[in-house]
Amino acid sequence: MMAKLSTETRLAQPDEVYARLIEAYRDLDEAQSHKLSAKLILLLANHIGDPEVLEEALAIARGEAAGP
């Protein structure tokens, strides 16, 4: 069975998560910001661990898949 990316909100406090993400980037220059993004993406991709789910997430993020 093919895994499917969950795109429904599962965060109890999404605004708090958003604020933490914004705060993590505060005072970083462009290079530091890109480095943080890359590290965060790789950590979360490793946590997901399913290549099919990652492909679906990439397609959605690039706007190449139907849906929200």
Residue 53 has which token pair?
């789910």
- pLDDT at 67 (0 to 100): 52
- The residue ranges of every structural domain in the chain are 30-68
What count of Cα atoms within 13 Å lies in the side-chain half-sphere of residue 33? 9
Query: What mean pLDDT is predicted for residues 15-21?
Result: 97
Q: What is the mean pLDDT of the chain?
A: 91
pLDDT tens-digit series, residues 37-54: 999 999 999 999 999 999
- pLDDT at 66 (0 to 100): 54
Give yes or no for a contact between 2 and 52, defined as CB atoms under 8 angstroms apart.
yes
